[in-house]
Amino acid sequence: MTKTAAFIGGGVIGGGWAARFLLMGWDVRLFDPDPEAERKMGEVLANARRSLPGLSDTDLPAEGSLTLCETMSEAVDGATWIQESVPERLELKQKVYQTLQEHCDESAIIGSSTSGFKPSELQSTASRPEQIIVTHPFNPVYLLPLVEVVGTGANDPERLDRASEILTSIGMYPLRVRAEIDAHIADRFLEAVWREALWLIKDGIATTEEIDDAIRYGFGLRWAQMGLFETYRVAGGEAGMRHFISQFGPALSWPWTKLMDVPELTEELTDMIADQSDAQSGQYSIRELERARDNNLVSILRGLKAQDWGAGKILNAQDKRVSRIAETLDEVEDVSQPIKTIERAVPLDWTDYNGHMNEARYLQAFGDATDRFMLIVGCDAEYIQNGGSYFTVETHIRHLDEVHAGQTIRVDTQCIVGAGKKMHVFHRMWQGERLLATGEHMLIHVSLETRRPSEPGPQVAGPLTTVAKAHSALPLPDGAGSSVGVK
């Protein structure tokens, strides 16, 4: 069933919201009176298409449709989710809600991207206050999973739960804020760091670039995967958080910071900050900076994903929700045909200096396909834990065509031999109907205790025999058994 979301305001945040919903299979309607709205939305969507699918190790749902609407009433008609991302002026937001509620379904969720206003302020003039909640994301919305969900007593728990379920379904992490407070949770930390940074610049202690260096080369990397308290727990050593507090707690009374005092943003200070920022980053366009940001975020997030830690754990959970690849033989639609073992986008960090997928990543994709085939025939985590597995003894890859970041690849696997200790598989990699590469792999079943060849257990031998017998009626794949070079 098609799901529809409406977005009121298509700037940096609203456009990011729309891109995430679109790429997670929702139909999107966008209202923004800006005459440049279509161009700006197109550029945000292009960045999202290039980066978001590569965070996933499985294929995302088919992209939804995008409609630019001339009125708010057209945008919200029949929408399940409505996201308001208009400028941070309370009167404007309240006026927008009045219009929205005249035309939207009463069951629809109206979320606000506000970074500072409390939900009670947003609800104060609404005809249906129970419909409005804060859903505050972080830029770029299509990559960063955090969204702060804040309600009031006017919001029934069922609506807040439904909002969290929808946000989770599009790969986000809904952080339910326990009580409303100005600027919610995360922006209060950002404000504290921002205040101190302004003083450091004003007092001539550091430049904008030096402050950024202190964050991105130091504690920012720790925060990205452990946050604040888990980082400090580690810093406390074996004695943990209690030792850390006793060791460093007294420093809180020392005059290290000026967090409760704000420098006046005079024209002189503003010029100083702007000039330093121009010197630091002025050589790049905004689109170049966005692409660099997205490249770096994808690399960090995929690194966390490999460890199943921090934001990476959210991405792995989303893969399991959206994956349409079989995990058992019973889930394979037609065992008489090559089995789909991979369907995913090419990540940004899989490409090389030629702008296409690096040759090593072809091997990774085929290795992942082999792993999925092993899982399908019963060589799963429990089987491996009990001492049985397959080792690859020979591989032959043919690189037939190139593929670029963001494009979807599919791998189909044919079992040529599946008897005794041997597993001989042939993978074909496709982009649509275009054959990109083939990978031929010979594997031998081993005992992990002796590290020597052994017969597979019946829970693997049975399904593998079934697939091999079914695939024996298929013609031998073109290229199977060939050697390197032209004969």
* Annotated binding-site positions for NAD(+): 9-14
Question: What is the torsion angle, in degrees rounded to the nearest 10, for the CA atoms of residue 424, residue 429, residue 433 and residue 436?
Answer: -120
Question: What is the torsion angle, in degrees rounded to the nearest 10, for the CA atoms of residue 20, residue 77, residue 115 and residue 312?
Answer: -20
Vertex 331 angle, CA 329 and 336, to 5°: 60
Read off the tokens for 330: 């019973």
- Binding residues, by number, are 9-14
Residues 6+ apart with CB under 8 A from 385: none
Read off the tokens for 187: 């922006």
